[in-house]
């Protein structure tokens, strides 16, 4: 059952999609893809469109650069690491010297 009023979450999503559409119209897709690949690879290349990105997109680029610096494999292993109990007990003994 739908209500005549649009819920707030749908309005927020519609506004976000409208902003994304405006961004994609004003900036070329190839440029955005190049910036993202450059950030992930931490190669330092840019097409110069980063200052024109909204604040949220610039934050996402910074997080992408950080993930690229850590390395995708290192990041996955760090997130998946769990403390597992050892299947054995190391031998310990008090030794007297002297």
Q: Which residue has the tokens 């059952």?
A: 1
Phi and psi at 93, nearest 5°, equal: -155, 140
Q: Render the burial of 15-36: b for 16+ CB within 10 Å, e for the rest.
A: eeeeeeeeeeeebeeeebeebe
Model confidence, pTM: 0.55
Residue boundaries of the structural domains of the chain: 8-79
Q: Residues of the chain whose pLDDT is less than 50?
A: 1
Please report the pLDDT score of residue 62 as a whole number.
Answer: 92
Q: Indicate the burial class of 39 (C-beta count within 10 angstroms; 0-12, 13-18, 19 or more).
A: buried
């Amino acid at each position: 059952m739908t209500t005549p009023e649009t819920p707030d979450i749908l309005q927020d999503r519609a506004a976000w999609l409208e902003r994304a559409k405006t961004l994609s119209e004003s900036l070329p897709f190839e440029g955005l893809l190049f910036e993202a690949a450059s950030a992930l690879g931490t190669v330092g290349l840019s097409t110069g469109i980063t200052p024109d990105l909204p604040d949220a997109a610039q934050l996402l680029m910074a997080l992408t650069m950080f993930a690229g610096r850590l390395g995708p494999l290192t990041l996955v292993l760090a997130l998946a690491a769990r403390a597992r109990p050892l299947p054995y007990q190391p031998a310990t003994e008090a030794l007297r010297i002297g």
